[in-house]
Amino acid sequence: MNHRPARLVLPLLAVALAGFAMSFVDAALLRERHAVRIEASHALAKRLELTDIALFTEARYTRHPSQADLHAPFQDHPLALEHFPTGSLIAPPRHEYLDRTTARAD
Amino acid sequence: MNIWIEQQRALIDFTLASLARRKARNLGLLAVYTLLVFVLASVALFSHALRHEATRVLADAPEIVLQRLVAGRHDLIPPGYLEKIGNIRGVQKMEGRLWGYYYDPVIKANYTFMVPSAGGVERGTIVIGAALERVRGLALETGISFRAYSGKLYSFVVADILPHDSELVSADLVLMHEDDFRTFFEFPAGHYTDIALAVANPQEVRNIAAKLAAALPDSRPILREEMLRTYASIFAWREGIVLAILSGAILAFAILAWDKAAGLSAEEKREIGILKAIGWETGDVIRMKIWEGVLISLTAFLVGYVAAYLHVFRGGGVLFEPVLKGWAVLYPRFQLAPEIDGLAVATLFFFTVVPYTAAVLVPIWRAATTDPDAVMR
């Protein structure tokens, strides 16, 4: 049996630590490579006036969550439950509640 | 200094030899610990990168999108709306947008049909997103037919394919000429899906939205700020859901780790008694146990984090793909840019390394300060 197990374990720990540090270096390099792709998406979104990303295309309120209203998933029939799994995985849109003035007191 | 280093190395040697005596138990704990760090770090890295990407890509989305609601549902913008908006001071530019959804029964997927406001698509042709190209097996200059909701069949030629690099925003897009769009959907002349507005002074966006809401009571303005916030909350929600599902596993691990760290076995108590009897000081015993806690938790953190990094940014997050895909047939292929939230990594480090190391200390302090004779009995 090895009487100085630290000789084996400490270098292994150093390798893990180097791996951790390398992940940040790798991230910086990858970010540079991805910058072109992100810029292409950004330019297209600007040109086409897009409002949402195409992650969940199964229903209209998951394709464009920012354009949907709070109850969009539940409008199909009374007591409707949400059909799509995405609906439970994404949050409802965060709409602003703008003050609307009415002619008469509410 | 050298003596101190030598002393610590000796303590580490002793700790490792002691851990090796209960090899299966300690390796099992290390494996579960690493797996837990891996899952938590994967969720944190994935959500943060996706959130960051959505914010950057949509940074120049329309400042205000104006929808019209009828009986609580989204309806078309009728003629005359644009003129009414034109009278509101501060609105710099406004454009009626034409877009809608089309369900393709061939592949059971929804497409987003859209008319680019700047034009550029000839009549009878379409420009498609890269996911659509892949799933329908289309190529440039090939024809495709869609059956409209009226029942008529319309054929289009693929004039261009949107860059693969922009798949995250354009996977399911079908861009077409305005006339084709109106004919295909039998869209009434002069009507639009919604209106995109640009505002002269960005500070005034909320005021203008309030003016729009007052001038057009059946409308709903959606600000860019809301779109970005929606995406921030979508991924925070997703992160929360995964954490809620994982909370059972986290608690189970906490109990296991606490039991392992805080409850001393009779064998460990005897070991401490012997060490004290042969002349170890309380401080040495505690230092040895600190090393035990640090070695296990630091290894679990480092290995778990690096594996999570490789999984999310080099392996494309394969474990999350089934959850992300939902029921969508068209799904963009994309590799996330590694945006790492330093605070999240520091928090993960703190909550994985510190509690375990601290939990190791309490019972040891109690055992190490009692009489060796009493501990060994």
Q: Which of A50, A65, A83 is the last residue of a domain?
A: A50
Q: Do A27 and A60 have their domain in common?
A: no
Q: Which of A50, A65, A81 is the last residue of a domain?
A: A50
Q: Do A62 and A86 have their domain in common?
A: yes
Q: Is residue A103 part of a domain?
A: no
| pLDDT top residue among A68 and B126 | B126
Are A63 and A56 in contact by the 8 Å Cβ rule? The answer is yes
Q: How does residue A101 score in pLDDT terms, banded at 50, 70 and 90?
A: low
Q: Is residue A105 part of a domain?
A: no
CA distance A74 to chain B (A): 12
Q: Is residue A88 part of a domain?
A: yes
Contact A56 B328 (CB under 8 A): yes
Which structural domain range is residue A85 located in? 51-97
Torsion, Cα A16 A18 A19 A21, to 10 degrees, reads 130
Q: Is residue A8 part of a domain?
A: yes
Q: Is residue A106 part of a domain?
A: no
Take residue B117 and report the two structure tokens written for it: 């406001």
| Residue A91 DSSP SS3 | coil
pLDDT greater than 70 at residue A3: no
Are B353 and B188 in contact by the 8 Å Cβ rule? The answer is no
A40 contacts in B (CB within 8 Å)? 163, 165-166
Q: Do A43 and A87 have their domain in common?
A: no
- Mean pLDDT by groups of 10 residues along chain B of 377 residues: 84 87 87 92 90 92 92 88 86 92 90 92 94 91 92 94 91 95 94 93 90 89 91 83 84 81 74 84 85 91 96 88 74 88 92 84 75 70
pLDDT of residue B271: 81
Amino acid, res. A5: P
Q: Which of B9, B302, B309 sits opposite A16 (nearest CB)?
A: B302
Q: Which of B12, B196, B217 sits opposite A6 (nearest CB)?
A: B12
Q: Which of A17, A85, A98 sits opposite B326 (nearest CB)?
A: A85
**ipTM score over 0.85, yes or no:** no
Q: Do A14 and A56 have their domain in common?
A: no
pLDDT greater than 60 at residue A105: no
Which domains does chain B carry? 2-58+230-376 (no CATH), 77-192 (2.40.40)
Q: Which residues contact B281 (CB under 8 A, 6 or more apart)?
A: none
Q: Do A82 and A92 have their domain in common?
A: yes
| pLDDT top residue among A1 and B49 | B49
pLDDT greater than 80 at residue A75: no
B336 contacts in A (CB within 8 Å)? 34
Which residues, numbered 309 to 328 in chain B, qualify as contacts with chain A under a Cβ-Cβ cut-off of 8 Å?
309, 313, 323-324, 326-328
Q: Do A7 and A45 have their domain in common?
A: yes
Q: Is residue A85 part of a domain?
A: yes
Q: Do A63 and A92 have their domain in common?
A: yes
Euclidean distance between CA atoms A42 and B303, whole angstroms: 35
Q: Do A18 and A42 have their domain in common?
A: yes
Amino acid, res. B248: G
Q: Is residue A7 part of a domain?
A: yes
The mean of the pLDDT values for chain A is 83
Q: Is residue A70 part of a domain?
A: yes
Which residues, numbered 268 to 287 in chain B, qualify as contacts with chain A under a Cβ-Cβ cut-off of 8 Å?
none
Q: Do A45 and A2 have their domain in common?
A: yes
Q: Which of A13, A16, A51 sits opposite B65 (nearest CB)?
A: A51
| 3-state secondary structure string across chain B | CHHHHHHHHHHHHHHHHHHHHCHHHHHHHHHHHHHHHHHHHHHHHHHHHHHHHHHHHCCCCCCEEEEEEECCEEECECCCHHHHHHCCCCEEEEEEEEEEEEEECCCCEEEEEEECCCCCCCCCEEEECHHHHHHHCCCCCCEEEEECCCCCEEEEEEEEECCHHHHHHHCCEEEECHHHHHHHHCCCCCCECEEEEEECCHHHHHHHHHHHHHHCCCEEEEEHHHHHHHHHHHHHHHHHHHHHHHHHHHHHHHHHHHHHHHCCCHHHHHHHHHHHHCCCCHHHHHHHHHHHHHHHHHHHHHHHHHHHHHHHHHCCCCCCHHHHHCCCCCCCCCCCCCCCCHHHHHHHHHHHHHHHHHHHHHHHHHHHHCCHHHHHC
For residue B91, what are the β-bridge partners? B199
pLDDT of residue A99: 64
Instruction: Compare all CA atoms of chain A with the CA of B333 and give the residue at the minimum distance.
Output: A55
Are B328 and B48 in contact by the 8 Å Cβ rule? The answer is no
pLDDT of residue B366: 73
pLDDT greater than 60 at residue A2: no
pLDDT of residue A19: 96
Give chain A's domain count: 2
CB pairs under 8 A between A and B: 232
Are B252 and B246 in contact by the 8 Å Cβ rule? The answer is no
Q: Do A68 and A44 have their domain in common?
A: no
CA distance B128 to chain A (A): 13
Euclidean distance between CA atoms B82 and A31, whole angstroms: 42
A56 contacts in B (CB within 8 Å)? 326, 328
Q: Do A20 and A61 have their domain in common?
A: no
Contact B167 A54 (CB under 8 A): yes
Q: Do A58 and A88 have their domain in common?
A: yes
Helices B342-369 & B23-57 angle (0-180, nearest 10): 160
